[in-house]
């Protein structure tokens, strides 16, 4: 299993557009083959910085999602809302207590 964290910073006037888009797409993303878990995190102090945290069966499952129409359409609609370059990390659990 792998974990994927994506940091996104939005134009403050476009945060609600992102929230609406995520609300519409979240169930489709969560039920994409290989997706085990999905969360949306807000950095409340900034008001415009958000993170997605997802868990995937494997790098292969994540890559299939990243090549899918669902991802390509969702990402196209999301990236026009950014005011900074997004950052993404694929990580594995080292210690879990």
The pLDDT, as a whole number, for residue 89 is 98
Domain that holds residue 51: 2-91
CATH code for position 6: 3.30.70.100
Is 97 inside any structural domain? no
Q: Left if phi > 0, otherwise alpha if psi is -120 to 50, otherwise beta: which for 34?
A: left
Report whether 36 contacts 56 (CB < 8 A). Answer: yes
pTM for this entry: 0.93
Look at the chain and report how many structural domains it folds into: 1
3-class DSSP state for residue 92?
Answer: coil
Task: Encode pLDDT of 69-90 as tens digits.
Answer: 999 999 999 999 999 999 999 9
Is 96 inside any structural domain? no
**pLDDT tens digit at each of 97 positions of the chain:** 999 999 999 999 999 999 999 999 999 999 999 999 999 999 999 999 999 999 999 999 999 999 999 999 999 999 999 999 999 999 988 999 9
Is 67 inside any structural domain? yes
Report whether 52 contacts 40 (CB < 8 A). Answer: yes
């Amino acid at each position: 299993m792998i974990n994927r964290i994506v940091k996104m910073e939005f134009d403050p006037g476009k945060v609600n557009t992102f929230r609406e888009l995520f609300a519409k797409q979240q169930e489709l993303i969560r039920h994409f083959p290989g997706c085990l878990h999905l969360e949306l995190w807000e950095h409340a102090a900034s008001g415009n910085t958000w993170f997605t945290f997802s868990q995937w069966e494997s790098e292969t499952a994540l890559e299939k999602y990243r090549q899918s129409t669902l991802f390509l359409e969702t990402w196209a609609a999301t990236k026009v809302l950014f005011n900074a370059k997004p950052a993404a990390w694929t990580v594995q659990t080292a210690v879990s207590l």
